[in-house]
Structure 1
Amino acid sequence: MAKSSSDPRDEVNAPLAHGALNLPLVTIDDYNNELRDKDGFVGDNANKKTFQLKLDDWRKRIRKVGDDPLGKAATEKLSKKKIDAFLKGEDMEAAALVMGAVEDFAQDFADVIGKFLKDKRWTKTERIVVGGGFRQSRFGELAIARTMVILKVAGVDVEVVPIAHHPDEAGLIGAVHLMPRWMFKGHEVILAVDIGGTNVRAGVVKFGKDDVPNFADASVWESAIWRHADDEPSRTATIEKLAAMLRDLIGKAEKANLKPAPIIGIACPGIIKADGSIERGGQNLPGGNWESDSFNLPAALMKAIPEIGDDSTFVMMHNDAVVQGLSQIPFMNDVSRWAVLTIGTGLGNAHFTNREGTKAR
């Protein structure tokens, strides 16, 4: 899918713009790729719902000939922890049933990856890291590994590996790569936010030691999560709640003498324009209408939190898959071109090329 001349992603080449394509350590070749085939969006074949459908199909088939080893609970009610328990448990039939779904999902996921790799912006991809909530499970890890085996056998030379950090933390840690390192001088932590269709996470991210390159030891010092899907808040109420979460985290960081930088990094679904507005892709965010011309999330947060410490607040926002991918920069020194796919409610995606000198920074 080639970019059109009006694609808002073409407008953000400045290094300190929201949704910037040129970041300190990588160039973003592509993100939020809405790749289609004759059946619709390619990403719809590799998400949380897809795996549930595969598992449910196996359960329906086995019920025709006997008892369902996974019990009576509806498939969509089975948590990742419960599915993992079936996979690791002593009931081999239950484990085998889950493995059937893993195999079917991996076949589809390999097909999806193959289609992305045919996009010219994804050529010469050496490694794909897989994040999102699906990765944080044993069955998810097996599906990722099986996908790589399928691709290898098919002659596709690309690594497919789980994201290194916990996906919940990767979406926060990646924020440190949105700005040049000099902006953090004299500070020890940054505030980060990861907004999704179900949860909002906010956290305090420690930069790590100054002599460690590329923030390789960055970590989440403290975080908070709000499952907004249970409350169905308005957009305004969401901003108010998020601001309260951030104020609480700022207070904790200051009390611990961590010297927070006056910066908030935001990971948010959709295509992010240079002014911080959302072009499209924010339809699942709480309260709706996040793509309105009259709404700007960075501006709303700066208004709610005008200062951090003695300095004016600065906010930088990018796509959530991009930010999750950025957390992997320290582990990508041995490749040049790589990508991230995040499996959750949808399939987030981004592709990167390491910039000259990344290894030394």
Structure 2
Amino acid sequence: MPSTPKPAARHGATDLPRLRLDAYNAELQDPEGHGFLGDRASNRAFMEMLDDWRTRVTRGSGGEDPIEEALGEDRPTKAIDRAELDEMLDSAAEDPEAAGLVHSAIEDFAQDMAAVVRRFLRLPEWRDTQRIAVGGGFLEAKVGLMAIGRVGVLLRAGGEQVRVAPVLHHPDDAALCGAPHLAPPALLEGFDACLAVDIGGTNMRAGLVALGEAADLSGTEVLESERWKHAEEAPDRDEAVARLATMLDHMAEQAGVMGRRLAPFIGIGCPGVITPDGRIARGGQNLPGGNWEDEDFHLPEALLAALPRINGVPPAIIMHNDAVVQGLSQTSAMRDVERWGVLTIGTGLGNARFSNPG
């Protein structure tokens, strides 16, 4: 196996191996004083809009709720999954009112998200953005894809010179596929896979990522992954780190089973502002219990202490903001534009803006 060079990249870097990061984790204040503007374009916001429409329709019709009738039972909106909403859209011919109610929430969400995007485009760092890729769990279902399509239509109809489209990879895979882009190219030479982590406010994922044949990493794909919905278990910070280390150890074992040449590198996407020394400066409020922003806490070092060596050496770990890492998975698809961004719809609205080399 080739020797392991010392990584030249830093945590939270702006000069990345293949492009420049102009800005990320912008926290726009809601002009109406309701926290962050991005909260209007989150999973929670969509479900609140759907719940509001259910309430209004039920009140107006004297107690009849089209969604309750479609489900065959009375269930709170937060207990309805997106696959069930997709079924209602698909069954519009048989139950147009249920489909229409879901469409109403999609339209409200799209209107709010279009307004959020316009605010981003007015930021100096986001001016002249030509294309925006949208990712996150919201896009796993048709309701999410329809909402993003509607956002694109609203922006173009309003004269904005920007195209909006879903990320190329499955929402679960995008950040994992972006993680290898954090590594200095020399660190991956001679290997055909690496480990990756995607940490979110609801889930954590660990993955084994194939690097592909292309030098620009355009052929990355997730070979194996494990998802842990930590929000359901409410672990403390140390328990979460231990569980993540176990997941990564399992992915390394899978690399051996598959005969993969595993690079001694782990790329991590994590919410918040990431300092050059690998700490979370702010934005970690949705992570499992404990202060992830404590100046004495260092996630890469905590993981490194819990992980075995890879090919006889400690793995190099590089961490960046989760929206940044998800955006990096789009690098090859954005070669034809100079300035582009990514928005991720999850517990909140992640964001990053990039420029390609001139």
Q: Under a length normalisation based on structure 2, what TM-score does the superposition of the two structures give?
A: 0.93
Query: What residue is the counterpart of 2:18 in the other structure?
Result: 25
Match of 2:163 among 156, 159, 165: 159
The alpha-carbon deviation at position 213 of structure 1 amounts to: 4.7
* Native 8 Å contact 1:48 1:345 kept in 2: yes
Query: What residue is the counterpart of 1:107 in the other structure?
Result: 111
* One-letter amino acid matched to 2:115: D
Aligned residue for 2:278, secondary structure, equals coil
1:181-196 aligned at under 5 Å gives the runs 181-196=185-200
1:41-190 aligned at under 5 Å gives the runs 41-66=36-61, 67-71=64-68, 72-89=74-91, 90-190=94-194
Query: What residue is the counterpart of 2:202 in the other structure?
Result: 198
* Native 8 Å contact 1:193 1:203 kept in 2: yes
- Is it true that 1:38 corresponds to 2:31 in the alignment? yes
Match of 2:314 among 312, 315, 323: 312
CA distance in 2, matches of 1:282, 1:179: 23
- Is it true that 1:269 corresponds to 2:283 in the alignment? no
Deviations 1:131-155 (A, max 9, x none): 0111111111111111111111111
The alpha-carbon deviation at position 64 of structure 1 amounts to: 2.1
Aligned residue for 1:312, secondary structure, equals coil
Residue ranges of structure 2 left out of the alignment (5+ in a row): 1-6, 69-73
Matched residues, percent identical?
Answer: 49
CA distance in 2, matches of 1:65, 1:122: 43
CA distance in 1, matches of 2:147, 2:241: 36
Query: What residue is the counterpart of 2:253 in the other structure?
Result: 251
* Native 8 Å contact 1:271 1:279 kept in 2: yes
CA distance in 2, matches of 1:16, 1:58: 48
* Native 8 Å contact 1:15 1:24 kept in 2: no
Query: What residue is the counterpart of 2:283 in the other structure?
Result: 281
Deviations 1:284-309 (A, max 9, x none): 11122111111100011111125112
1:195-344 aligned at under 5 Å gives the runs 195-209=199-213, 212-344=214-346
CA root-mean-square deviation: 1.3
Aligned residue for 1:97, secondary structure, equals helix
Query: What residue is the counterpart of 1:8 in the other structure?
Result: none
* One-letter amino acid matched to 2:15: N
Aligned residue for 1:73, secondary structure, equals coil
The alpha-carbon deviation at position 312 of structure 1 amounts to: 2.0
Match of 2:9 among 1, 9, 16: 16
CA distance in 2, matches of 1:33, 1:69: 39
Residue ranges of structure 1 left out of the alignment (5+ in a row): 1-13, 357-361
Deviations 1:232-267 (A, max 9, x none): 112111111111111111111012220110111111
Task: Give the stretch that moved more between structures: 301-310 or 70-79.
Answer: 301-310
Q: Give the 3 Å change call, closer, same or farther, for CA 335–79 of structure 1 in structure 2.
A: same
The alpha-carbon deviation at position 37 of structure 1 amounts to: 4.0
Q: Under a length normalisation based on structure 1, what TM-score does the superposition of the two structures give?
A: 0.92
Aligned residue for 1:167, secondary structure, equals coil
CA distance in 2, matches of 1:153, 1:20: 36
The alpha-carbon deviation at position 28 of structure 1 amounts to: 0.7
Deviations 1:97-150 (A, max 9, x none): 111111111111110000000000001000011101111111111111111111
CA distance in 1, matches of 2:278, 2:318: 8
* One-letter amino acid matched to 1:107: Q
Aligned residue for 2:67, secondary structure, equals coil
* One-letter amino acid matched to 2:258: A
